[in-house]
């Protein structure tokens, strides 16, 4: 009896830990104060306790059918049971059974609510609170072609066409495979059974329990062990004839099509180390008995973190030790990202999609952090600042950006919640937090948070049947940090807690510019305001942040102390920075750890310029890149004159590191894109930029550029010098292309420049060989190189049909993600911009008459978004207006309206500043 009471007490603790309280439950029924429309949320009257799912894919008829038994717990008296369902047919009437009395509950009616994507079941009589009922429904659906829900994919394998059927349920696509409670807060055990033909195999989240042959039809049924409590978006299963690669005694296996299985050996050797790296950081062992990594030809996303069954586009797991380093980095980080999700998102889950950034950001940051430990020669700190931190700053600098935490309600809201703010800004914020509290406190706090919300191990052992991994919100992690800091007797700053610090960065949009200036009495003061490049600006100065400032001076030269020493609070007009006498220059935001930009007074800008021109290595490379990046964006915001920026660019004559050059090229390229509207100014600015390209080519050809062993950045810089028309670079690339045509290898750092030169040649033999390489290569970086080279052609449109890149009259040709890759790479040159825009306009009639217009709207929006920051001329703008999606899909229309506002802002920016830029470059 005492053991039973203890078990009941433990389960009660679990329920209390997850309870919202009566006030919060009442608030779930209607719209909330934060603007969330709860009409699209499931009511809080029932919840799932367990699922028993049986499903049969019928590939010949491109369909599936199945049955699901859901044990449902009533939380209040109700005569309605509402679940999520979309695009499904109920093949028999649902029925309810009282599990205590075994009596059936009479069903009055049931209907689909298409707008809310819900199945509403009305009962003849009310069900009772705390009573368990079994809801059973048989259903069928179409095996989809759009890579979401339960979908199929056909691929060529030798002389045969083969297929796979697999799931992609994140974020809200499980409802397209079976009726369910399709919200992340409902974490429930699943018992899954899959029917298949004898020559195929099935995989699911858990290991196989047993298989049996159905006596009537001869189909093989695979029954899998019951999962831990998981949300619907992490449920996964697939049927294929893939092969398996594994090591005896290891719980990791890789699966891919038979002809590529030997190519998984390299990543099969790395995956256990990546898993151990996460276990070491979290101090929590992997929680499932197995982890399958599946490489499939195409996915809706590059990868998916299904618990125990991660899926990847196959080239990420079919690498070798001889693969290009860029591919190996991408492969390792892609696999590691989904492994991290097994802890962050799978084990501990956020209850709703308004916090989609929370686990995405943590996994994105830790991906770089753990990779830097495992592969220190890859220079991940520099890669993070360039590819994540700076990118997020440039995305978040407009007035219409959104905060990290923002209300999402409709299915379209949820599907579009994963953007640069969600993924990259969140990662930069986690890096900033680590620097505030220190590495040890950061790791200890994250570990405690994971343990607290996975339930203490003692309780797990005592009560297996109420064992569950919990839901948590950002505030739970912030509070955990504050507890750890308190126990360590560590005070960040008077009045500063992690809770109020992180709330200021996650609950309002944008970020500040910190202005640093000398006063008449000789002190140095820092103040803040929201940074914006929107023109005309629609924002206000109301937003203030809790900002931790790091800084060093010319006399101190301390670029290693990353913990803030001065705090600028929202209520402060300014903060005073203590500096020694005759300190020389000052640099704020050491190693770009803070998510903000910095502006200085004229004297300090000049001192920094002198230092960079005379001896740039005295300033940390991340701060050299930061100074260039900030200066460019400050010019756009009219906070400093353009000659500050162009004067800084002169120091590049002394710069032998890749990262500051890449940062400078980003700014130069943005100006080049926008100033094309003014042909005379464009010609002059291009000539100015060609001068910088000549300096860069000299450094590259003399092998003076410092870089990681990968030479990834070097390759990109070399390509840029060729695209800028540097004659020596063009000649070298042309010679390499001619040699390649005769069977010689292209040096890896010259590949893109060389293929670009080949596209410019334009002869049939050259183009045929490039097309063949595109069709046969399995290297993702090489495919992107070829796509960027395609944009070098003077007639981009003529190559579309030969490469079969774009068929918007039939969107079954590839995933939305791969289409985005094509568009992003095509718009890297003016010819590519014109070619893509014109091609989209030509397809407009067939697109508008298409039977799959709803899906095509997403593809059009992707092309529109890729073109938006690049278009400049009147004819390009006219095409953009033609292809602007409208009417059919409201959310896509809203998204493209925002993009159109960016176009208008860019046009007004260049109208305002093109003459200023010309004066700054003195041409």
Annotation: binding site: 337, 341, 360
265 to 260, 302, 324, 328, 334: CA distances (angstroms)? 10, 20, 16, 13, 16
- Contacts of 313 by beta carbon, 8 Å cutoff, 6+ apart: 295, 296, 297, 298, 299, 302, 303, 780
Report residue 891 as tokens: 């959310």
How many of the other CB atoms lie within 10 Å of CB of 642? 21
- What does the DSSP assignment read for 786-846? HHHHHTTSS-THHHHHHHT---TTSTTSS-HHHHHHHHHHHTTSHHHHHHHHHHHHHTHHH
Out of 338, 554, 655, 876, pick the active-site residue.
338
Whole-angstrom distance, CA of residue 863 vs CA of residue 867 = 6
Overall size of the chain counted in residues:
923
Residue 119 φ/ψ, nearest 5 degrees: -110, 120
Whole-angstrom distance, CA of residue 97 vs CA of residue 106 = 9
327 to 276, 319, 331, 663, 882: CA distances (angstroms)? 22, 8, 6, 22, 38
Report residue 680 as tokens: 């005379």
- What does the DSSP assignment read for 524-545? EEEEEEE----SS----S----
Report residue 133 as tokens: 């009922």
Planar angle of CA 540, 546, 550, nearest 5 degrees: 115
Whole-angstrom distance, CA of residue 480 vs CA of residue 474 = 10
Whole-angstrom distance, CA of residue 261 vs CA of residue 254 = 8
338 is catalytic: yes
How remote is the C-alpha of 481 from its chain's centroid?
25
Q: Quickly tell me which residue has 């000049």 as its tokens.
A: 606
Report residue 909 as tokens: 């920016």
Facing residues of 149 across strands?
168
Report residue 454 as tokens: 């996975």
H-helix or E-strand containing 496?
A: none
- Going 460 to 465 to 466 to 471, the CA torsion angle's sign is positive
> DSSP letter at 106?
P
Catalogue the E-assigned strands of 59-179.
Answer: 63-74, 78-84, 89-90, 95-98, 104-105, 107-113, 118-127, 132-142, 149-157, 160-168
- Contacts of 397 by beta carbon, 8 Å cutoff, 6+ apart: 510, 511, 531, 532, 533, 534, 633, 637
How many of the other CB atoms lie within 10 Å of CB of 591? 22
Binding-site residue positions for Zn(2+): 337, 341, 360
Q: Which of 231, 236, 446 is nearest to 352 (CA)?
A: 231
538 and 898 Cβ atoms separated by less than 8 Å: no
- Pairing relation of β-strands 512-518 and 597-600? parallel
- Contacts of 864 by beta carbon, 8 Å cutoff, 6+ apart: 880, 883, 884, 885, 896, 899
Q: Which of 871, 846, 860, 845 is nearest to 896 (CA)?
A: 860
909 and 533 Cβ atoms separated by less than 8 Å: yes
Kindly list the catalytic residues.
338
């Amino acid at each position: 009896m005492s053991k039973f009471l203890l078990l009941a007490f433990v389960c009660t603790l679990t329920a209390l830990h997850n309870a919202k309280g009566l006030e919060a439950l009442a608030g779930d029924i209607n719209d909330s104060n934060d603007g969330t429309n709860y009409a699209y949320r499931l009511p809080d009257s029932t919840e799932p306790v367990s699922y028993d799912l049986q499903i049969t894919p019928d590939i010949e008829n491109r369909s599936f059918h199945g049955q699901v038994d859901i044990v449902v717990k009533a939380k209040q008296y109700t005569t309605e049971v509402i679940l999520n369902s979309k695009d499904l047919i109920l093949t028999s009437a649902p029925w309810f059974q009282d599990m205590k009395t075994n009596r059936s509950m009479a069903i009055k009616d049931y209907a689909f609510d298409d707008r809310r994507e819900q199945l509403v079941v009305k009962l003849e009589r009310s069900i009772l609170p705390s009573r368990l009922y079994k809801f059973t429904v048989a259903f069928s659906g179409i095996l989809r072609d759009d890579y979401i829900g339960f979908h199929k994919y056909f691929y060529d394998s030798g002389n045969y066409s083969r297929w796979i059927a697999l799931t992609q349920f994140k974020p809200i696509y499980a409802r397209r495979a079976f009726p369910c409670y399709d919200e992340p807060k409902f974490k429930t055990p699943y018992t899954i059974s899959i029917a298949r033909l004898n020559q195929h195999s099935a995989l699911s989240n858990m290991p196989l329990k047993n298989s049996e042959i159905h006596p009537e039809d001869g189909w093989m049924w695979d029954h899998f062990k019951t999962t831990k409590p998981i949300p619907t978006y992490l449920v996964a299963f697939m049927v294929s004839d893939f092969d398996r690669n594994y090591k005896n005694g290891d719980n990791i296996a890789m699966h891919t099509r038979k002809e590529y299985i030997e190519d998984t050996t390299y990543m099969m050797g790395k995956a256990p180390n990546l898993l151990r790296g996460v276990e070491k950081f979290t101090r929590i062992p992997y929680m499932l008995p197995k982890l399958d990594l599946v490489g499939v030809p195409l996915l809706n996303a590059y990868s998916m973190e299904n618990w125990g069954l991660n899926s990847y586009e196959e080239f990420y797991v079919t690498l070798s030790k001889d693969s290009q380093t860029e591919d190996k980095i991408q492969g390792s980080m892609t696999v590691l990202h989904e492994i991290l999700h097994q802890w962050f998102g799978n084990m501990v889950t956020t209850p709703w999609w308004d916090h989609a950034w929370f686990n995405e950001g943590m996994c994105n940051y830790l991906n770089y952090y753990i990779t830097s430990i495992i592969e220190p020669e890859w220079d991940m700190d520099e890669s993070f600042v360039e590819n994540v931190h700076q990118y997020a700053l440039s995305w978040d600098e407009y007035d219409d950006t959104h905060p990290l935490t923002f209300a999402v309600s409709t299915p379209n809201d949820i599907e579009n919640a994963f953007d640069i703010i969600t993924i990259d800004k969140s990662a930069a914020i986690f890096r900033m937090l680590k620097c505030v509290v220190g590495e040890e406190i950061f790791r200890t706090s994250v570990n405690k948070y994971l343990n607290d919300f996975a339930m203490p191990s003692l309780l797990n052992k005592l009560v297996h049947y109420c064992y569950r991994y919990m839901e948590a919100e950002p505030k739970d992690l912030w509070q955990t940090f504050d507890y750890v800091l308190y126990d360590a007797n560590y005070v960040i700053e008077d009045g500063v807690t992690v809770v109020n610090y992180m709330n200021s960065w996650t609950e309002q949009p944008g970020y500040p510019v910190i202005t640093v200036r000398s006063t008449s009495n000789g002190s140095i003061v820092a103040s803040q305001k929201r940074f914006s490049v929107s023109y005309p600006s629609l924002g206000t100065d109301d937003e203030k942040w809790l900002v931790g400032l790091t800084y060093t001076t010319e006399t101190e030269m301390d670029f290693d102390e990353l913990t803030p020493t001065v705090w600028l609070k929202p209520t402060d007009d300014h903060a005073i920075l203590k500096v020694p006498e005759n300190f020389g220059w000052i640099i704020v935001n050491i190693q770009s750890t803070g998510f903000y930009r910095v502006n200085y007074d004229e004297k300090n800008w000049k001192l920094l310029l002198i230092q960079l021109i005379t001896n740039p290595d005295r300033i940390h490379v991340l701060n050299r890149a930061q100074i260039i990046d900030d200066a460019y964006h400050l010019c756009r915001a009219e906070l400093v004159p353009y000659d500050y920026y162009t004067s800084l660019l002169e120091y590049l004559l002394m710069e032998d590191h890749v990262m500051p050059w890449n940062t400078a090229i980003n700014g130069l390229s943005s100006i080049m894109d926008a100033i094309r509207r003014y042909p005379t100014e464009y010609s002059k600015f291009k000539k100015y930029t060609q001068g910088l390209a000549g300096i860069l080519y000299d450094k590259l050809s003399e092998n003076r550029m410092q870089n990681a062993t990968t030479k990834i950045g070097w390759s990109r810089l070399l390509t840029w010098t060729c695209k800028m028309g540097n004659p020596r670079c063009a000649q070298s690339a042309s010679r390499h292309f001619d040699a390649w045509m005769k069977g010689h290898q292209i040096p890896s750092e010259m590949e893109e420049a060389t293929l670009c030169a080949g596209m410019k040649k334009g002869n049939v033999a050259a183009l045929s060989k490039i097309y063949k390489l595109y069709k046969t290569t399995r290297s993702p970086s090489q495919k992107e190189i070829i796509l960027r080279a395609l944009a070098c052609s003077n007639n981009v449109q003529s190559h579309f049909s030969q490469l079969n890149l774009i068929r918007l009259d039939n969107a079954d040709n590839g995933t939305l993600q791969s289409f985005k890759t094509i568009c992003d790479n095509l718009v890297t040159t003016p010819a590519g911009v014109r070619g893509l825009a014109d091609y989209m306009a030509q397809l407009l009639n067939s697109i508008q008459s298409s039977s799959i217009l709803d899906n095509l709207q997403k593809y059009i929006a992707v092309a529109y978004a890729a073109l938006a920051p690049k278009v400049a001329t009147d004819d390009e703008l006219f095409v953009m207006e033609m292809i602007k999606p409208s009417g059919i899909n409201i959310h896509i229309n809203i998204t493209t309206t925002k993009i159109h506002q960016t176009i208008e802002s860019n046009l007004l920016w260049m109208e305002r500043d093109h003459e200023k830029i010309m004066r700054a470059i003195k041409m």
